[in-house]
Amino acid sequence: MMKKTLLYLLTVTLLSSCADDLQIVTPIPTEQQIEWHKLETYAFIHFGLNTYNDLEWGYGDTPASTFTPTNLDCEQWVATLKKCGMKGVILTAKHHDGFCLWQTKTTDYSIANSPYKNGKGDMVKELSDACRKHGLKFGLYLSPWDRNHAEYGREGYVETYHKQIDELTSSYGELFEFWFDGANGGNGFYGGANETRSINAKEYYDYERARDSILKRHPNAMIFGGTCQTIRWVGNEQGWAGDTDWCMINPEHHQDNHFYLTYGDENGTHWIPAEVDVSIRPGWFYHKREDHQLKSLSQMTDIYYRSVGHNANLLLNFPINLDGKIPAQDSARAVEWYNVISNDLKDNLLKDAKINIDNERGRKFKAENVIDDNWDTYWATEDDYNVGTISFSFDEPVKMNRVVLQEYIPLGQRVKKFYIEGELNGKWFKINPSDTLSTIGYKRIVRFNTVELDKLIIYFEESRGPLCINNIEAYYAPVLLTEPVITRDYDNYVKIETSDKDAAIFYTIDGSAPNKNSLKYDKPFIYNKKGVIKAVVYDIESKNKSAVATKEIDLSHDFFNIIEPNEGSKKMIDANVYSTMYIDNNEPVIIEFKEKQVITGFRYTPNQSRDASRHIVDYEFYVDGKLVKSGAFGNIKNNPIEQVVKFDAVEGKSVRFVPKSNTDNSRNCGIAEFSVITE
């Protein structure tokens, strides 16, 4: 490995020193980071005690004996992941609850004290063996936070944690990535202490020592999180990177700033590219109640284009079910998604196009390099010439709606602004979705409405150095209709909207599946009852249809009064997830129904703005003065989606919802939407 690294460094040094070759624009990626970029998509697996206790963030107080898979099959996992194009898989060897999925000597809270294989099982070994057998790369997630360990927050736990790192890095073969989660410190079981413990994450875990231990055995491994990261969290768990996405950041600055992590830093000092982590379901662990909430085909396709297509790698999570398998519907959806992406990007329209440029460094850097399928050749402009154009002409008009661009990142990320135009019969028109586009990096995929053209031209308006483009492709992807969005506003008007032009919407209000014989949507309609509305989009020309959108609607304010708070309460029932009511911690939301109801749960949605804060964490829920549910939205800071809480049916007229704390330790918290679930 040392010889390969030295050869790589010698190569880039020679490139930078030759007058005829292109200058490096620093910082640049390591050889290992370049190989990581090329993976593009790989999988996350969340499985453990949380699976069997229906939790997202366990407290570390559920017994190891509740881990009871009966039909676990790691080869089924790997076979599924290969079918949907994944290049590797990362296993959560230990989540925040502290339960270890391998035969560790560091704690009794492990698979060794579960019924699985009579305590002889080792999930890390089983999955790593399956990956080697079938040619997938293998990585590990090890939560620094341990809500079970009695010494967490003290020096004794740090030694335990490093012993766990040593066990995992020494016994299970080559690792391509090691994951440190950012959730650190807070309330937990802690061996029975049941208290809150705070730590300084940057100092407490001794991440520098952890890095040295990992890289000593796995020099090619990427490190996610901690203070020694070589790749970065993208700033959300919703499946998108910024439309501007620099591979560079300054590790000393803004590590808690989600905006900074999402968009990177043009002036960053280190090459630390973004990884997008998102689950195929709402949660990271399996919950039967989410079986109907699998991400749709169009949602997953959009995630691909906004992650891999935005210069980031995609880490797609698959929750393992109670049987110990990836659920059949999840597997089918992932394979369907991979087939859509493969079909979208199947036939490169530029392979036989005629190329013209306005600037070229020399024949070694000729424009034809962008379509030669050789990643290590590129088109470059002359020194001090940081702008340029490249055009592609076709003998006959072609339809197009995708353009793929790549920079030769071993020499740095350069492009800051570009835009795309087309020509048909001598008339020019702009085809990219905004006035100008920004970064490219390893890969940028630009989507736009289908156009017909006989010439494509790309203008590079601004760059950090001479252009260095190693690949350009163009495609005509088939229409993939997106499911419509269903909302009900404060005045009880239901709106069903789609962004697809030339499409018709059909819907039902009785919970049945909609089709072309269902009600046709043409304008908002009043619906104030509880019920299930479903809708589908049909494309008139192609006769394709979208996935079905489903909206469970609770009783409207026609059936209740909001007693407290007096001001701003309309915002939490206006169907606008960006308008937010703020309420002090421990101050209740009180709702009085006009008639007694059978109450089975509630829905809470935090503000959906990109920079939103103060999401509720801990809460209490009362019916007629009796506490019926208390708990915490464990991962809401990083995954601020709608929270649905269900409980056994309770009759009553008065509901009191009390937020106890929030994600920013502020005195008040935000509620974008809130409703009570009734039978």
387 and 317 together in one domain: no
For residue 6, tell me if it sits in a domain.
no
Helix H or strand E segment including 15: helix 2-17
672 and 631 together in one domain: yes
Tell me the pLDDT of the chain averaged across its residues.
93
Query: 3-state DSSP: the chain helix, strand, coil percent, rounded to 5?
Result: 25, 35, 45
For residue 387, tell me if it sits in a domain.
yes
Domain count, the chain: 4
pLDDT given at position 344? 97
600 and 542 together in one domain: no
Residue 139 CA to residue 172 CA, distance in Å, equals 10
Q: 326, 321, 303: which is closest to 313 by C-alpha?
A: 303
382 and 300 together in one domain: no
Q: What is the DSSP string of 357-375?
A: ES--S-GGG-GGGGGSS-T
491: domain range? 485-553
Residue 439 pLDDT exceeds 50: yes
364 and 498 together in one domain: no
Contact 532, 550 (CB under 8 A): yes
The per-residue pLDDT for range 190-246, each reduced to its tens digit, is 999 999 999 999 999 999 999 999 999 999 999 999 999 999 999 999 999 999 999
pLDDT given at position 255? 66
Burial class (CB in 10 A: 0-12, 13-18, 19+), 102: buried
149 and 49 together in one domain: yes
Question: What's the angle, vertex CA 218, arms to CA 212 and CA 221, rounded to 5?
Answer: 95
Residue 37 CA to residue 275 CA, distance in Å, equals 10
Task: Record the pTM.
Answer: 0.87
Burial class (CB in 10 A: 0-12, 13-18, 19+), 168: buried
Residue 308 CA: distances (Å) to CA of 240, 245, 324? 9, 11, 29
Task: List the beta bridge partners of residue 188.
Answer: 195
Q: How much of the chain, in percent, has pLDDT values that exceed 70?
A: 95
Report which residue type is found at 595: E
Q: 521, 442, 491: which is closest to 34 by C-alpha?
A: 442
197 and 101 together in one domain: yes
547 and 464 together in one domain: no
Whichever domain contains 145, its CATH number is: 3.20.20.80
Residue 525 CA to residue 494 CA, distance in Å, equals 5
Residue 491 pLDDT exceeds 90: yes
pLDDT-based confidence at 11, cuts 50/70/90? very low
Query: Higher pLDDT residue, 33 or 436?
Result: 33
Residue in the structure block whose two tokens are 């088109």: 379
192 and 119 together in one domain: yes
Helix H or strand E segment including 279: strand 274-279
Domain limit, last residue, from 422, 455, 475: 475
Domain limit, last residue, from 515, 532, 553: 553
Residue 451 pLDDT exceeds 70: yes
Task: List the beta bridge partners of residue 117.
Answer: none
For residue 21, tell me if it sits in a domain.
no
pLDDT given at position 254? 65
364 and 251 together in one domain: no
For residue 90, tell me if it sits in a domain.
yes
383 and 436 together in one domain: yes
For residue 30, tell me if it sits in a domain.
no
Task: List the beta bridge partners of residue 357.
Answer: 390
Report which residue type is found at 589: V
Residue 25 CA to residue 312 CA, distance in Å, equals 20
Tokens of 657: 């919802």
The per-residue pLDDT for range 88-136, each reduced to its tens digit, is 999 999 999 999 999 999 999 999 999 999 999 999 999 999 999 999 9
For residue 167, tell me if it sits in a domain.
yes
For residue 14, tell me if it sits in a domain.
no
pLDDT given at position 10? 45
For residue 34, tell me if it sits in a domain.
no
Most confident of the ranges 26-30, 384-388, 447-451: 26-30
Residue in the structure block whose two tokens are 């003290």: 154
Question: What's the angle, vertex CA 591, arms to CA 586 and CA 597, rounded to 5?
Answer: 130
439 and 573 together in one domain: no
Residue 653 CA: distances (Å) to CA of 449, 590, 591, 594? 51, 11, 8, 7
Whichever domain contains 398, its CATH number is: 2.60.120.260
Helix H or strand E segment including 196: strand 195-197
Domain limit, last residue, from 456, 475, 494: 475
pLDDT-based confidence at 292, cuts 50/70/90? confident
The per-residue pLDDT for range 596-651, each reduced to its tens digit, is 999 999 999 999 886 789 999 999 999 999 999 999 998 898 788 899 999 999 99
